[in-house]
Amino acid sequence: MDTPIYEIHSESEQGNRIFIKRDDLLPFSLGGNKVRIGWEFYRDMCRTEADCMVMYGDRRSNLCRVLGNICSQKQIPCYMICTSVEESPSLSCNSRMMEWMQVEVIPCQKDSVAQCVQDLLERLEGEGRKPYYIYGNQWGEGREGVPVQAYVDAYQEILGQESQLGVSFDYIFTASGTGAAQSGLTAGSLLARDKKKIVGISVSRDKERGTRIMTRALSQYFKTRGILVPDRLEDRIYLADEYLQGGYGKFDEQIETCIRRQFLENALPLDPTYTGKAFWGMECYLKDHHIENTDVLFLHTGGSPLFYDYLINEEKMTC
């Protein structure tokens, strides 16, 4: 599933060369990093011999779109616990596709997710099914290490492409929401014993919570594979939460300007929830940390439907 890496036009005052890895071009369900991650969850589901999938997200969720598509392709019943039905009743491209896939959506308040998960699992078990909840138990614990493998593999892919291109990236930047892609890249770097700095631009969580979640995911990943957990694992997790601009799904004119500029200069479709915020955050991070004359890789994690949501609703959106 190799995706291209190439240098993009950049007017970096610090003399940095910016390269981009186009995981938005992965050839399944409109691409994006959730394609790699979704297939890891599906393989794990098969290992547990479950017969239906339960997922959690909101109407913008790229992961839920991909998992729903996998389930529709494999003819597996799929259920989505959704926390944004009441606060955002309008359809998004992702939620419309979920209707096509006949995913059963269960509305839920954000403060009662655990109970909704438990109720649904008990209902499905009562119907004689063996459900697979992608995050483990009702509290979202138990499968943190599963999606990490997706970006351990992608990291190996990047190392091979570096050799082909004759470059060496000192920094790799990515949007960090659940932290799965960043955790995988970090694990890949640790396994390769190199010094690349994997920087996640947080789009949803504060640094303390995000670091805690990724530390747990990395620890579980290493332990389940019989690999010694590195000392002071948290010291290798670089999560920048100073570019949240109000929180998940929030953005401002700076991010909008970045999205337009990158589309005009580099034909990159970025969105304000994940990739646009992360790209803008990367540019700010490079300036704020006085990083100069180095080769930088930005992982375009995709979410193409969100680009079209933004394009269609730009005039209606409030930041």
Alpha-carbon gap, residue 214 to 241, rounded angstroms: 14
CATH number for the domain formed by residue range(s) 5-29+145-313: 3.40.50.1100
Mean pLDDT within 127-150: 95
Q: Which tokens in the block code for residue 183?
A: 């955790």
Closest among 200, 177, 182, 185 to 281, alpha carbons compared: 200
318 pLDDT higher than 50: no
Mean pLDDT within 31-54: 98
Mean pLDDT within 263-279: 97
319 pLDDT higher than 80: no
Topology match between the domains 5-29+145-313 and 33-133: yes
Residue 14's pLDDT band, with cuts at 50, 70 and 90, is: confident
Kind and range of the H or E element at 295?
strand 295-300
What confidence score (pLDDT) does residue 85 get? 57
Residue 29's pLDDT band, with cuts at 50, 70 and 90, is: very high
Mean pLDDT within 146-171: 98
Residue 250's pLDDT band, with cuts at 50, 70 and 90, is: very high
* Residue 230 main-chain phi, psi, to 5 deg: -60, 145
* Overall size of the chain counted in residues: 319
What confidence score (pLDDT) does residue 313 get? 83
What confidence score (pLDDT) does residue 223 get? 95
CATH class, 33-133 region: alpha beta
Q: Are 7 and 283 in contact (CB under 8 A)?
A: no
Alpha-carbon gap, residue 217 to 181, rounded angstroms: 11
Q: Are 268 and 20 in contact (CB under 8 A)?
A: yes
| Segment 49-104, tens digit of pLDDT | 999 999 999 878 999 999 999 999 999 999 999 987 544 456 789 999 999 999 99
Alpha-carbon gap, residue 32 to 17, rounded angstroms: 23
Q: Which tokens in the block code for residue 59?
A: 């109407």
4 pLDDT higher than 80: yes
What confidence score (pLDDT) does residue 90 get? 63
What confidence score (pLDDT) does residue 40 get? 98
Which residue matches tokens 């593999």? 153
Alpha-carbon gap, residue 286 to 12, rounded angstroms: 9
**Among the listed ranges 13-17, 287-291, 293-297, which one has the minimum average pLDDT value?**
13-17
Which amino acid, one-letter code, is at 85? V
| Domain map (residue ranges) of the chain | 5-29+145-313, 33-133
Alpha-carbon gap, residue 146 to 10, rounded angstroms: 36
Mean pLDDT within 40-52: 98
The Cα-based distances of 266 to 9, 16, 235, 262 in angstroms read: 6, 16, 34, 5
Please indicate, yes or no, whether the overall pTM of this predicted structure exceeds 0.85: yes
Mean pLDDT of all residues belonging to the chain? 94
Residue 106's pLDDT band, with cuts at 50, 70 and 90, is: very high
Alpha-carbon gap, residue 121 to 124, rounded angstroms: 5
* Residue 21 main-chain phi, psi, to 5 deg: -105, 120
Closest among 275, 278, 218 to 244, alpha carbons compared: 278
